[in-house]
Amino acid sequence: MARHLITSAIPYINGVKHLGNLVGSQLPADLFARYMRARGHEVLFLCATDEHGTPAELAAAKAGQPVADYCAEMHRVQADLAAGFRLSFDHFGRSSSEENRRLTQHLAVTLFEAGLIEERTERQVYSVADGRFLPDRYIEGTCPNCGYEKARGDQCENCTKQLDPTDLIDPRSAISGATDLEVRETKHLYLLQSKLRDRLAAWIDEQADWPVLTTSIAKKWLFDGDGLQDRGITRDLDWGIPAQFEGAPWSGMEGKVFYVWFDAPIEYIACAAEWAAAQGLADADWERWWRTGRGAGDVRYTQFMGKDNVPFHTLSFPATLIGSGEDWKLVDYIKSFNYLNYDGGQFSTSQGRGVFMDDALEILPADYWRWWLLSRAPESQDSEFTWEAFQTDVNKDLADVLGNFVSRVTKFCRSKFGEAVPEGGAWGERERQLIADLSEGLARYEAAMDAIAIRRAAQELRALWVLGNEYLQEAAPWAAYKEDPDRAAAVIRLALNLIRVYAVLSQPFIPDAAATMRRALGTEDANWPGDMEAALGALAPGHAFEVPDVLFRKITEEERDTWQARFAGGRG
């Protein structure tokens, strides 16, 4: 048994997330966490809401709420939606927690004492109309890199280039739309990332198994142009972790907070402390996951994120941990994703474009979405959600293949043998061939899951479902029953056991359907099949079962057209 620390990129607090956000971090992280637990490993799966910075302040102002109240409300909303999608976090924390404040300030002091933080006077955009500086998302304009006209002052969501507000062309206030802007001097703390470039480059070079997408983005930031730049880690904002505090080795930072991209990744660690506190555990219980000198050296740490988050997780956050000189656990593997686009355009939270998590759950249960999103995960390139593809895949994979197998087997058994595993008959050559094919398919499925090759894993899982259907069609127990009831009993007994195997193997992808299959079979046994022959005999003759309700229903063309029209104009 191994120990796996798994984190998903923490979502901004500013509203309900869309399906592109979901498949770009949280959902594949949950798939991997569920799989690792199913294989018997110890897992700590952490996520949180990212509650600081301009996104929180702007969203709260738009909602007409104090920012603290808004964040508390939206944390509950996001936690409920995560539960609705069956995301199995061990803890879903908050970056506004006391644990994160304490740890962020501690690391800032440690970095300062190591000579890696210095005060700098810089020029920033000031809005005369708003009477304040406009950091990050408080300012919008045209991206100087790609020409996107709605770029924000921290990053262009179109080309992912990291920006400073002064980089924007034709800037305007995101608060009032005012263009009466000035550039004024203000003092801030800078993390001297440039001093750590060689150490970061050497560390990244050691990660030979990282996805090409991850390493290519990291190396671009390290070496392109002038290379890795020092980064301001404070902002002129009211909401956030105070940059001036008791014990700080600097002065003059009153009224400033730490930059959200400094404190947000630290929340991964703080989240573990929150988890331990919520469980009534000691510090040692979370430190064994995060401090290499206290047991975390044996932990395998995997992060999941969209490609726009890669620079911060491969460079800025590791720079914080490496620069501290303390024994923090560094990530072992970063699974990054391209974008899931929506019906010819981009998903966008700010523009309300696409299908959002709450709307999705209103339409269909979580498993329908989980299966489609994971089986179409944008791993090697951007992918696109269309209603036609969604309907086709759900109907073909879930209803026609898996659902059809479960229904045919259980209903036939009930009609001919009753609601219990039948006895009689023996396996023959066809069953031995099926066991061999299932064993080989299982090995391919496990290899894909171990490698976090998500689309390939989905293909291998579906192939296992197909094997059962092909066997059932060839063995034809409905025909065999007329002349040889014992032969039909042997086929159905194997098929009922195969449903249990499918429930176990499918659980990481479609946990609700897996639970339904296990309940119908009257078993909570979720042991991963080691020996396929033994697994297909786990439910003995006489074991009672029930015929479940329809596992997956088909999506009609009328429904598809209705949903496509409903979401054509974006989120209201």
Model confidence pLDDT, tens digit, residues 408-463: 999 999 999 999 999 999 999 999 999 999 999 999 999 999 999 999 999 999 99
The whole-number average pLDDT for the span 362-378 is 98
Judge whether 52 and 96 are in contact, CB under 8 Å.
yes
pLDDT above 90 coverage of the chain, percent: 83
Q: Are 410 and 369 in contact (CB under 8 A)?
A: no
Report yes or no on 447 lying in a domain: yes
In a domain, 548, yes or no: no
Give the pLDDT score at 346: 79
Per-residue confidence (pLDDT) for residue 516, from 0 to 100: 97
| Contact of 41 with 2, CB cutoff 8 Å | yes
Q: Are residues 351 and 395 in the same domain?
A: no
**Per-residue pLDDT tens for 30-83?**
999 999 999 999 999 999 999 998 889 889 998 999 999 999 999 999 999 999
Domain assignment present for 93: yes
Residue 540 lies in a domain: no
* CATH of residue 268: 3.40.50.620
The binding site for ATP comprises 349
Residue 164: predicted pLDDT: 81
Compute the distance between CA of residue 475 and CA of residue 309 in angstroms, rounded to an integer.
51
**pLDDT score recorded for residue 415:** 97
Q: State whether 318 and 463 are in the same domain.
A: no
Q: What pLDDT was estimated at residue 341?
A: 92
Same domain (yes/no): 321, 438? no
Where in the sequence is the domain holding 444, given as residue range(s)? Answer: 388-535
Q: What is the pLDDT of residue 343?
A: 81
CATH number assigned to the domain comprising residue 501: 1.10.730.10
Q: Which residues contact 37 (CB under 8 A, 6 or more apart)?
A: 43, 88
- Asked, for residue 180, whether it belongs to a domain, the answer is no
Q: Tell me, yes or no, whether 555 lies in a domain.
A: no
In a domain, 125, yes or no: no
Binding residues for Zn(2+), by number, are 143, 146, 156, 159
**Together in a domain, 98 and 222:** yes
The confidence band for 138, taking pLDDT boundaries of 50, 70 and 90, is confident
The more confidently predicted of residues 530 and 95 is 95
In the predicted structure, residue 2 carries a pLDDT above the cut 60: yes
Strands 151-152 and 139-142, by their bridges, are antiparallel
For position 386, what pLDDT does the model report?
Answer: 95
Counted domains in the chain: 2
How many angstroms separate the Cα of 557 from the Cα of each of 308, 389, 552, 563?
Answer: 35, 12, 16, 10
Alpha carbon 303 to its chain centroid, in Å, reads 9
Amino acid at 368: Y
Say whether both 328 and 225 belong to one domain.
Answer: yes
- Residue that the structure tokens 């003092």 belong to: 187
For residue 471, pLDDT over 60 is answered with: yes
Give the model's pLDDT for residue 338: 94
- Closest Cα to residue 262, out of 316, 324, 342, 187? 316
Residue among 361, 462, 481, 468 nearest 413 (CA) = 481
Q: What is the pLDDT of residue 464?
A: 98
Give tens-digit pLDDT for 250-306. 999 999 999 999 999 999 999 999 999 999 999 999 999 999 999 999 999 999 999
Same domain for 111 and 239: yes
Q: Does 393 lie in the same domain as 359?
A: no
In this structure, are 315 and 206 located in the same domain? yes
Say if strands 299-306 and 383-385 run parallel, antiparallel, or are unpaired.
Answer: unpaired
Across the chain, how many H-helices and E-strands are there? 22, 17
For the record, the structure tokens of 227 come out as 């290379």
Three-class secondary structure of residue 322 per DSSP:
helix
> For position 570, what pLDDT does the model report?
65
Domain boundary among 364, 399, 429: 364
Q: For residue 572, is pLDDT > 70?
A: no
Q: Which one is predicted more confidently, 304 or 351?
A: 304
**Residue 170 clears pLDDT 80, i.e. is over it:** yes
Residue 201 has pLDDT above 70, yes or no: yes
User: Does residue 402 register a pLDDT over 70?
Assistant: yes
Q: In this predicted structure, what is the pLDDT of residue 172?
A: 93
357 and 393 in a single domain? The answer is: no
**Is 60 exceeded by the pLDDT of residue 120?**
yes
pLDDT more than 70, % of the chain: 99
Q: Is residue 122 part of a domain?
A: no
**Domain co-membership, 329 together with 436:** no
Q: Do 520 and 472 fall within a single domain?
A: yes
Distances (CA, A) of 487 to 266, 437, 478, 496: 61, 21, 10, 14
Examine the domain organization and report whether 350 and 485 are in the same domain. no
For the chain, the average pLDDT equals: 94
Binding positions: 143, 146, 156, 159, 349
Q: Which residue has the tokens 């002065």?
A: 251
